[in-house]
């Protein structure tokens, strides 16, 4: 099973790893796309006002421009430790035992805007870039990444993909149509049995789900296999619209 996670806008600063090597990241065929986005971000950082406009930064966020300027020299840390926020706080990868972290490294990709999908343990620097940004000199990130990421995922030939990304990041690299997959939507049951999608608890539930998977490390190779594991684990999962799976929080 391959799990796709969204990134988070918030990130831990610093790191102890060597500077970024785009060719060493997961899905190395994406190196040309990564290099181009990194170059565009670094170049953009030379113009503070334009950076603030393109990245939609407030006055208090302008320190992020220097972070982008240092993308090629900054220290790195594993992606799953770099990101903070609701999903990654619930996952709390730093507290997992070594075997569980190795499982994350083998089964989880985090879909970033500047680097595309990266392995959970791939070393990346801090950065500021969201899926909706349009960088000078490049087409929209959707046009830049989508086909390349889909092709790269197809080349991996995963038996099953569990897609936990937000819709904005799905657009940056849809799972190949030929790859068995399931998009997970976190929901709650309201009065009269009505089902509604969640926002904040969506992220928490996804982080907790991936943590549970890393702790138990089941051999899941299909949609039905994931549903069986979830049922045995006491999680409520059922079919949703358009082939989605609904995870009840």
| pLDDT for the residue 152 | 98
| pLDDT for the residue 192 | 67
Work out the burial of residue 77: count CB atoms within 10 Å of its CB; fewer than 13 is exposed, 13-18 middle, 19 or more buried. buried
Of how many residues is the chain composed?
249
Q: What is the pTM of this model?
A: 0.96
Q: Is-contact 237 230, C-beta < 8 A?
A: yes
Distance CA 33, CA 133 (A): 15
| pLDDT for the residue 189 | 85
- Strands 181-189 and 2-5, how do they pair? unpaired
Q: Could you tell me which residues are beta bridge partners of residue 187?
A: 197, 248
Q: How many domains does the chain fold into? A: 1
Please give the biggest Cα pair distance in the chain.
56
**What is the signed CA dihedral for 219, 221, 226, 228, rounded to 10 degrees?**
-70
Q: Which residues of the chain have pLDDT under 70?
A: 191-192
DSSP letter at 118 equals: E
| pLDDT for the residue 226 | 98
Distance CA 103, CA 120 (A): 9
Show the domain range for 44.
2-248
Joined together, the tokens standing for residue 198 give: 């969640």
| H/E element, 241 | none
Q: Where are the alpha helices (DSSP H) in the chain?
A: 31-44, 48-55, 63-69, 79-82, 86-91, 98-107, 141-156, 167-170, 200-216, 223-232
Of 188, 233, 214, 234, the closest CA to residue 92 belongs to 214
Q: Which residues does 77 contact at the CB level (< 8 Å), separation at least 6?
A: 12, 14, 15, 16, 17, 123, 124
- Phi, then psi, of 3 in degrees rounded to 5: -110, 130
């Amino acid at each position: 099973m391959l799990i796709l996670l969204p990134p988070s806008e918030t990130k831990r600063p610093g790191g102890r790893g060597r500077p970024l090597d785009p060719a060493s990241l997961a899905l190395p065929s994406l190196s040309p796309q990564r290099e181009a986005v990194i170059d565009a971000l670094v170049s953009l950082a030379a113009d503070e006002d334009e950076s603030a406009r393109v990245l939609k930064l407030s006055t208090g966020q302008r320190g992020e421009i220097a972070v982008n300027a240092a993308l090629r020299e900054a220290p790195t840390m594993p992606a799953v430790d770099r990101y903070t926020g609701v999903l990654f706080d619930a996952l709390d990868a730093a507290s997992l035992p070594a075997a569980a972290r190795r499982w994350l490294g083998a089964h989880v990709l985090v879909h970033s805007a500047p680097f595309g999908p990266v392995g959970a343990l791939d070393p990346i620097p801090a950065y500021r870039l969201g899926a909706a940004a349009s960088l000078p000199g490049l087409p929209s990130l959707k046009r830049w990444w989508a086909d390349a990421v889909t092709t790269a995922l197809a080349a991996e030939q995963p038996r099953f993909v569990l897609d936990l990304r937000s819709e904005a990041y799905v657009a940056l690299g849809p799972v190949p149509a030929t790859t068995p997959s399931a998009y997970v939507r976190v929901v709650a049951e309201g009065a009269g049995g009505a089902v509604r999608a969640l926002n904040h608890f969506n992220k928490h539930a996804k982080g907790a789900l991936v943590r549970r998977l890393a702790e138990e490390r089941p051999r899941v190779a299909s949609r039905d296999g994931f549903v069986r594991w979830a049922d045995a684990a006491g999680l409520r999962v059922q079919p949703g619209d358009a082939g989605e799976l609904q995870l009840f929080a």
